[in-house]
Amino acid sequence: MKKSKVLFFLLLIGLFISFGILYSSSAEQKASEADQSLVPDYRLDGCTVIIVGKDASVDGSVMTTHTCDCGICDWTWRYVPAADHEPGSTRKIYHIDQFRSWPPRVGLKWDRIKDDFTGLEIPQVPHTHAYLHGAFGYMNDQQVAIGESTIGCRRKMRNPTPTAKFDITMLTLIAMERASTAREAIKIMGTLAEKHGYGHTDSGEMLAVADPNEVWIFEIMPVGPLWTPESGKPGAVWCAQRVPDDHVSVCPNESRIGEIDLDNPDYFMASPNVVSFAVEQGFYDPNSGEPFNWKKAYSPTEASAASSKGARVRLWRFFDLVAPSKKFSPETPNMELPFSIKPDKKLSVYDVMQMTRDKCQGTPFDPARGLQGGPFANPNRLPYGFKLEGKSYNTPRVIGVNRAEYVTVTQCRGWLPNPVGGLVWLALGAQDTSCFMPFYIGVNRIPHSFEIGDHWEFNRQAARWAFDYVDFHTQVVYSYAIEDVRQAQERWEKSAVERTPLIDQFASELYKKDPQLASDFLTDYCLGNAQRVVEAWWELGDFLLVKYNHLWVYDVKNRKRSSLKYPDWWLNLLVEYNHLTPQPQKKD
């Protein structure tokens, strides 16, 4: 009898413990989900997208950018020609992990994607457009352009299962192949994601989708791991808002769409479950009296530039750059900053290029200030913050970081024929030490050196390594070497921008006579310019190695050597920290 009671109580205690563990686990999971919703993971911030409407640009072009801020991803590019397809043919869909890469000896990313066939084939369209792509599709021959930024979503929305057939890369490639306008691209991507599921390796994503007339912010998110096509429900939730033509906007890894008005289709589009899914999941209470707000429901971020110690500074910084007259405060929560704004002055493509390099210079969030930048004011140190004695510290996460695979600036220009009007400006590697090179969408190939390369194997045949070569030599004595780099950018980059109207004119005249002649001319021009820039950057890297060798300054022309000048504030700290004492003064 006593043994039975003991067993009973042991069983009872075991049940209480199990219940406690389950309850605790459930509570921790809910708390974790809440934290995931409200507290951004600063370490994982990826890409910045800048958006310029046609009436906000100097020349009337619609612009988007993409800083592909990964640091370990594939950086190669491809040109995909237009194609005609037989009736009844299909298009295979692949899972494409935007972060995964392979050693060159086993094949680069775009050689290996067919290894991950989803099992889905969709009906092929009669004609697919030509386009340029890197990690994502960037522009097609109809001047439909895209820029990407990861924005995340609530944890319970994620769908890492293979049931979700589409990820963001695959969606952009299909949009490039099939869309003739930005609106059409959004509808194609949204419809496919609803029908076949979205997610797999991606969570919430934002795309700036542009054409020569307008630009939209398109945001898409998964609907959880339990979704199946048989459910009859959409396999994604998405929303799109048009940026006014005279406005500019930005996406710095944060959801940007707030309240929506689906009765105004000229400015809003969305999936049919845009509100109902939020209600079902408990993200929005329609009886609250509050209007539905997309970002608050699906990807809220409670932070400001100031409260995050600069980790969330990009949104405020962008508005501070383009509309300083508004005097936005860095204390303003990012969720309260506007969707878009009319800039104080219209922006040129060169302005936008420089904006992609911005490091919050002259603000309290400048990462080069003081001890962090060191004696040579290097803004690229501690890009992810750091931990010390069990405590975590944030450092400013600026627009121009030193982990970009490449940076794009796209221009859609409606007053020119499509092959001439579409321009992708491409800078390989980190913005501050790279150089933007033009690629008209009318080209019929790209340099082979842009199609190869890998982070883990140095290769002088890969164009990207020329820019990394310069970057490496710049980091050591940044404040000195960056001036040499800027002179090279002035020579090669600014001159290309200034040359563009002449190239436009000549190519347009050729196009009227023979489109193929125009394509050949644009290809020769773009590939020739790219080759000269890559060669110039290899030479620049050699120059920096010699000039700043052993932390001296070698004057090659005069064959003289001089010492580097260290700032007084740093020398004072050195004296204090190392307990240095001055030399005795000589007596007269």
pLDDT digits (tens, 9 = 90+) for 121-146: 999 999 999 999 999 999 999 999 99
Quote the strand ranges of 137-204, DSSP E: 137-140, 145-150
d(CA 480, CA 318) in angstroms, rounded, equals: 27
CB 49 within 8 A of CB 206: yes
The percent of residues in the chain predicted with pLDDT above 90, rounded, is 89
CA distance 172 to 209: 10
Identify whether the C-beta of residue 82 lies closer than 8 Å to the C-beta of residue 129.
yes
Q: What is the pLDDT of residues 469-507, one digit of tens each?
A: 999 999 999 999 999 999 999 999 999 999 999 999 999
Edge-first strand listing for the sheet containing 145-150:
78-80, 131-133, 137-140, 145-150, 205-210, 215-221, 237-243, 268-270
Distances (CA, A) of 563 to 241, 482, 573: 55, 17, 20
For the stretch 37-67, pLDDT in tens is 333 443 356 899 999 999 999 999 999 999 9
Average pLDDT of span 391-418: 96
Instruction: Kindly state the average pLDDT of the residues 93-110.
Output: 93
Mean pLDDT, rounded, of the chain:
92
DSSP 369: S
pLDDT band at 344 (very low <50, low <70, confident <90, very high): very high
Is residue 126 within 8 Å of 271, Cβ to Cβ?
Answer: no
User: How does pLDDT run across 155-190, given as a tens digit for each residue?
Assistant: 999 999 999 999 999 999 999 999 999 999 999 999
Stretch 322-343: mean pLDDT: 97
* Helices 515-547 and 463-476: angle between axes, nearest 10 degrees: 30
Q: What are the residues whose beta carbons fall under 8 Å from the beta carbon of 420, sequence distance 6 or more?
A: 413, 440, 442, 504, 507, 508, 511, 518, 522
Q: What local confidence, expressed as pLDDT, does residue 79 receive?
A: 98
CA 113 vs CA 100, 170, 456: distances in Å: 10, 10, 20
Task: For residue 563, give every residue at least 6 positions away whose Cβ sits within 8 Å of its Cβ, in sequence order, or none.
Answer: 552, 553
Average of pLDDT values for 546-574?
Answer: 95
pLDDT surpassing 60 at residue 1: no
φ/ψ of 69, rounded to 5, equals -85, 85
**Which residues neighbour 251 within 8 Å (Cβ) at sequence distance 6 or greater?**
48, 49, 51, 149, 151, 206, 208, 217
C-beta separation of 168 from 446 below 8 A: no
* Predicted local confidence at residue 108, as pLDDT: 86
pLDDT at position 44 is 53
In the three-class reduction of DSSP (H, G, I as helix; E, B as strand; rest coil), residue 460 is classed as coil
pLDDT score of 7: 40
Q: Are 177 and 141 in contact (CB under 8 A)?
A: no
Nearest to 446 by CA among 432, 426, 431: 426
Cβ density class 552-574: b for 16+ within 10 Å, e for less = eeeeeeeeeeeeeeeeeebeeee
> What confidence category does residue 9 fall into, taking pLDDT thresholds of 50, 70 and 90?
very low
Give the HSE-up count for residue 357: Cα atoms under 13 Å, Cβ half-sphere.
19
Residues 99-111: what's their mean pLDDT? 91
The least confident of 11-15, 182-186, 367-371 is 11-15
Tokens read off for 342: 């009319």
Cβ proximity of 53 and 411 under 8 Å: no
Structure confidence at residue 16 as a pLDDT band (50, 70, 90): very low
Decide if pLDDT at 4 tops 70: no
What's the CA angle centered on 25, arms 19 and 28, to 5 degrees? Answer: 140
> 74 or 45, which is more confident?
74
Q: What is the pTM of this model?
A: 0.91
pLDDT band at 580 (very low <50, low <70, confident <90, very high): very high
Label residue 29 by pLDDT band (50, 70, 90).
very low
Return d(Cα 2, Cα 163) in angstroms, integer.
54
What does the pLDDT look like over 269-324, one tens digit per residue?
999 999 999 999 999 999 999 999 999 999 998 899 999 999 999 999 999 999 99
User: Per residue in 520-542, pLDDT tens?
Assistant: 999 999 999 999 999 999 999 99
DSSP bridge pairs for 268: 241
**What pLDDT was estimated at residue 33?**
37
CB-based contacts of 452, cutoff 8 Å, min separation 6: 76, 104, 108, 459, 461, 462
Residue range 115-124: mean pLDDT, rounded: 97
pLDDT (average), residues 247-274: 98
